[in-house]
């Protein structure tokens, strides 16, 4: 009996059966993660992208470029965001097979962005001009993929390659073009190195590479902002409440007592900051009960006490991931960029049904307004953000130039003892570098830190310890170019480049 082959099914199976090139791409992607925190071997990502660009250069068709990109992504994200499994299985109580499936599905989703970048790279590739392909096309395709991934369906800006080079000369591009400019410079460095060694165009490639890095180094000496007034004395509390205990009724009062005690020991500070959802209950409940006397005392003192809690609108079903100043409880910040599939769910009704079938924990928050004003804390206007929001520099820039310094809080206990806490701290360092503002970061389990405008950690306390980070945050005024323009310059460059390539392909070549 003759077997009829399904071309689509055959292609799908072939996609997930790695051959030599795909296996190499997988290894290159896995290797690239070594450049990010907590390992911080920055040059490795350049070598990783150099290998990827070589594979794309030698790919014979669009499908092969897509497949190479997919397998690079599976290695890159499979290793780099493996921390998601800890959150789903260890702390959310999802069954092991489903937790594995959900984690792999997320890794595959992220990998598809690099896969489609590979398809686009092959679509525009001109075999007669390998130098332009390596130094212009491939870097632009890579940065375009990062931008789309960081914007689509709420955005997933994990492991943006620019974050890996905050300690190198390329960090000078951050105040000008943001993390996107740094990613572009890293990808261009990879393309130039490949052009240098493969095509032996040593003079032009080496001069361009030196110029690229030298300009980045020179930009580091530019003073985009200037200090204003005296530093703010701040106390950042790190309660170190394990995630598995955080919401237990038996731990409710011990948790509050811990934070209240740490607060009372630092009442001489200008600002005291509790981590994200440090209050393991709704604020309106503890306001009337367990923290009633403490809140009344706080209102009589001069210290601003910023606490993380869940706040609700009375008379509505809206609940917010919030920061509330106990000194003036009407001063609040509501998290505006919620985490997809964690704090809010696309296709909400459908997901509610699925969660009931598979015992997936399910709850939703309401997003705060995008245009929330900075709060007066410690005598200076401070811009606020909560956890995931620190991955989006353009959104944090909305509070500038009014905000003279920034405060962010997080609860990384969901990802304890994985790469995620260190990766998120690295993202916060990038935001300080991009925006020209010092950032004070309070977390439940770490890393709590104060970061200067060059992205350097001024002070930090160890993770997974109970402690208070007491330090000074310097207010600044003025704007970096990135804080003023965001990603518009990079988008303009990408749009112009791809518009030219499309015109060249279809008009200048005489196809139309």
What architecture is domain 226-479?
A: 4-Layer Sandwich (3.60)
189 close to 233: Cβ distance less than 8 angstroms: no
The whole-number pLDDT of residue 177 equals 97
Query: Which tokens hold the place of 121?
Result: 């790279």
Nearest to 463 by CA among 493, 505, 421: 421
Using DSSP bridges, classify how beta strands 271-273 and 467-473 pair: parallel, antiparallel or unpaired: unpaired
74 close to 29: Cβ distance less than 8 angstroms: yes
Query: Quick check: bond before 38 cis, omega within 30?
Result: yes
Angle at 341 between CA 387 and CA 395, to 5 degrees: 40
Nearest to 325 by CA among 269, 377, 371, 254: 377
The whole-number pLDDT of residue 428 equals 98
Catalytic residues: 276, 335, 387
Sheet harboring 467-473: ordered strands across? 332-334, 319-325, 304-312, 271-273, 232-238, 467-473
Q: CA–CA separation, 420 vs 414, rounded Å? A: 9
Distances from the Cα of 373 to the Cαs of 222, 267, 332, 334, in angstroms? Answer: 28, 26, 10, 11
The whole-number pLDDT of residue 434 equals 98
128 close to 5: Cβ distance less than 8 angstroms: no
67 close to 118: Cβ distance less than 8 angstroms: yes
Query: Which tokens hold the place of 432?
Result: 């300080």
The whole-number pLDDT of residue 346 equals 57
384 close to 374: Cβ distance less than 8 angstroms: yes
Strand-pairing partners, residue 324, are 307, 332
208 close to 455: Cβ distance less than 8 angstroms: no
Distances from the Cα of 93 to the Cαs of 90, 246, 359, 406, in angstroms? Answer: 6, 15, 8, 35
3-state secondary structure (DSSP) of residue 197:
helix
Query: Which tokens hold the place of 149?
Result: 């991934």
From first to last of its 512 residues, the chain has per-residue pLDDT tens of: 455 466 656 666 677 777 889 999 999 999 999 999 999 999 999 999 999 999 999 998 999 999 999 999 999 999 999 999 988 888 877 889 999 999 999 999 999 999 999 999 999 988 788 888 999 999 999 999 999 999 988 889 999 999 999 999 999 999 999 999 999 999 999 999 999 887 667 788 889 999 999 999 999 999 999 999 999 999 999 999 998 888 888 999 999 999 999 999 999 999 999 999 999 888 988 888 888 888 888 888 889 999 999 998 666 678 899 999 999 999 999 999 888 877 766 555 544 444 444 444 445 788 899 999 999 999 999 999 999 999 999 999 999 999 999 999 999 888 989 999 999 999 999 999 999 999 999 999 989 999 999 999 999 999 999 999 999 999 999 999 999 999 999 999 999 999 988 888 776 655 54
Q: How far is CA 121 from the centre of its chain?
A: 25
422 close to 442: Cβ distance less than 8 angstroms: no
Distances from the Cα of 379 to the Cαs of 230, 478, 510, in angstroms? Answer: 10, 18, 65
Nearest to 486 by CA among 224, 221, 174: 174
Nearest to 193 by CA among 134, 142, 136, 139: 134
Contacts of 315 (CB under 8 A, 6+ apart): none
Q: CA–CA separation, 324 vs 273, rounded Å? A: 10
The whole-number pLDDT of residue 16 equals 72
Q: Alpha-carbon Rg of the chain, whole angstroms?
A: 24
DSSP string, 35-95: GSTTT--THHHHHHHHHHHHHHHH--SHHHHHHHHHHHHHHHHHHHTTHHHIIIIIIT---
Q: Which residue has the tokens 């509505």?
A: 316
Reduce the secondary structure of 390-451 to three states and give it as a string.
HHCHHHHHHHCCCCCEEEEEECHHHHCCCCHHHHHHHHHHHHHHHHCCCEEEEECCCCCEEE
């Amino acid at each position: 009996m003759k077997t009829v082959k399904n071309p689509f099914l055959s292609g799908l199976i072939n996609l997930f059966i790695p051959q030599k090139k795909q296996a190499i791409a997988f290894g290159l992607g896995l290797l690239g993660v070594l450049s990010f925190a907590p390992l911080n071997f920055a040059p490795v990502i350049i070598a990783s992208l150099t290998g990827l660009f070589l594979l794309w250069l030698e790919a014979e068709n669009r499908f092969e470029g897509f497949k190479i990109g997919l397998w690079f992504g599976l290695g890159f994200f499979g290793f780099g965001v493996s921390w998601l499994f800890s959150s789903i299985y260890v702390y959310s109580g999802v069954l092991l097979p489903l937790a594995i499936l959900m984690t792999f599905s997320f890794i595959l989703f992220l990998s598809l962005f690099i896969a489609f970048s590979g398809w686009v790279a092959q679509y525009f590739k001109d075999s007669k001009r390998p130098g332009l392909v390596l130094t212009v096309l491939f870097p632009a395709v890579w940065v375009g993929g990062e931008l789309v991934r960081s914007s689509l369906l709420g955005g997933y800006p994990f492991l943006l390659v620019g974050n890996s080079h905050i300690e190198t000369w390329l960090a000078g591009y951050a105040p000008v073009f943001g993390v996107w400019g740094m990613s572009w410079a890293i990808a261009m460095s990879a393309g130039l190195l490949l052009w240098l060694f493969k095509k032996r165009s040593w003079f032009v490639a080496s001069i361009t590479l030196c110029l690229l890095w030298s300009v980045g180094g020179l930009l580091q000496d530019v003073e985009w902002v200037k200090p204003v007034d005296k530093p703010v004395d701040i106390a950042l509390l790190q309660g170190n409440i394990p995630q598995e205990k955080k919401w237990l009724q038996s731990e409710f009062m011990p948790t509050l007592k811990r934070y209240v005690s740490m607060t009372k020991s630092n009442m001489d500070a200008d600002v005291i900051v509790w981590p994200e959802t440090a209050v393991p209950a709704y604020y309106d409940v503890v306001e009337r009960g367990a923290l009633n006397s403490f809140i009344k005392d706080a209102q009589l003192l001069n210290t601003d006490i910023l606490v993380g809690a869940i706040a609700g609108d009375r008379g509505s079903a809206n609940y917010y991931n919030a920061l509330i100043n106990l000194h003036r409880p009407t001063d609040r910040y509501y998290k505006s960029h919620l985490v997809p599939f964690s704090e809010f769910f696309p296709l909400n009704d459908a997901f509610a049904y699925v969660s009931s079938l598979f015992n997936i924990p399910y709850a939703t928050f309401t997003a705060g307004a995008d245009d929330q004003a900075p709060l007066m804390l410690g005598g200076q206007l401070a811009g606020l953000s909560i956890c995931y929001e620190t991955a989006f520099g353009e959104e944090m820039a909305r509070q500038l130039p009014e905000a003279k310094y920034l405060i962010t809080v997080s609860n990384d206990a969901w990802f304890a003892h994985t790469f995620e806490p260190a990766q998120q701290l690295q993202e916060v360092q990038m935001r300080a570098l991009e925006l020209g503002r010092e950032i004070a970061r309070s977390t439940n389990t770490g890393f709590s830190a104060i970061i200067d405008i060059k992205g350097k950690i001024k002070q930090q306390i160890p993770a997974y310890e109970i402690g208070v980070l007491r330090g000074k945050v310097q207010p600044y005024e003025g704007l970096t170019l990135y804080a003023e323009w965001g990603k518009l310059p990079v988008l303009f460059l990408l749009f112009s480049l791809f518009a030219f390539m499309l015109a060249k392909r279809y008009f200048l070549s005489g196809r139309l």
